[in-house]
Amino acid sequence: MLFYRVLCCFVLLAGALNVKAGQTITMGTGISMPPYVIAEANRGIAVDIFRAAMEEEGVKVEVDYNDNATLLDAFNDKALDVIFVANRETAPDTYFSDSPLVVFHNFAIALEQTDVKLEQIRDLRYYRIGAFRLASRLLPAPYGASADQSPDYREYSQQLEQVRGLFNKDREVLVMDQTIFRYYLSQLRRQNPGSGLYRQSYKYYDLFPKSRYFAVFHNEEYRDAFNRGMEKIRKSGRYERILRAYQALLSDYLFSS
């Protein structure tokens, strides 16, 4: 019996060591989600937190930046080790992290000067909508039906173009995370300081629940390593330091909205 217990402990320890042996995993994440993901800088809130957690467990992380649909296909084909997703239906038979890596708060956004009226998700069906990639699959069910009934529905890989679409009136309503919207609007205002185009007033419609995005793995051991790493960086204060660093950057960069 003692030998059996020692053997079991050895096996469990060996599994943990396999995860810690300087291996590299590939994480897929959206190309257009600042400040959560800033592809051109190979960083962002979600990227830095994920790397920090895995680093605690001795795992190196490479990042593949692409649009959501391409990443989901690659992950389901097992070409990627991990992605961030909001629901189990999009990535069946996988291992979800215990806690979300990032929480998005999506709003419907329209220009003040338009006659858009929104009280519930179904009201979106009357308008030309611009959304992020896979929104029709990731947002609550009424949204997908509304998108199907929209007179002109488009999902954008590059959310900067999504924001442009609202202000040049190609889209009547945007559906996107509030912080991402403010980030790109601030970028457009800085790029066009003499233009009134991006100074038009707009309004938010709080129609959607917050979206909790989890780190999702094919490998249970890596999922467990991530959970352990997250617990370590929370206890050490590293998690909060990452958040505070970005909060300071955003307070300097974002125009008030």
Tokens read off for 43: 């960083």
Residues of the chain with CATH 3.40.190.10: 2-103+211-253, 106-205
Does domain 106-205 fall under CATH 3.40.190.10? My reply is yes
What is the percent of the chain where pLDDT is above 70? 91
Does domain 2-103+211-253 fall under CATH 3.40.190.10? My reply is yes
Q: Residue 125 is which amino acid?
A: R
CB 203 within 8 A of CB 232: no
More confident residue, 246 or 172: 172
Question: In the structure, what pLDDT confidence band is assigned to residue 253 with cuts at 50, 70 and 90?
Answer: confident
The chain-wide mean pLDDT, for the chain, equals 89
pLDDT per residue as tens digits for the range 141-167:
899 999 999 999 999 999 999 999 999
pLDDT exceeds cutoff 70 at 14: no
Tokens read off for 241: 């330091």
pLDDT per residue as tens digits for the range 195-243:
999 999 999 999 999 999 999 999 999 999 999 999 999 999 999 999 9
Lowest model confidence (mean pLDDT) among 49-53, 134-138, 203-207: 134-138
CB 130 within 8 A of CB 108: no
pLDDT exceeds cutoff 50 at 12: no
CA angle 30, 55, 15 (to 5 degrees): 105
Dihedral angle at the C-alpha atoms of 84, 184, 201, 102, nearest 10 degrees?
A: 20
pLDDT per residue as tens digits for the range 66-100:
988 899 999 999 999 999 987 777 888 899 999 99
What confidence score (pLDDT) does residue 8 get? 38
Phi, psi (5° rounding) for residue 209?
A: -70, 160
pTM of the entire predicted model: 0.85
Sign of torsion over alpha carbons 226, 78, 211, 49: positive
pLDDT per residue as tens digits for the range 28-43:
999 889 999 999 999 9
Residues contacting 34, CB < 8 A, separation 6+:
44, 180, 183, 184
What is the percent of the chain where pLDDT is above 90? 79
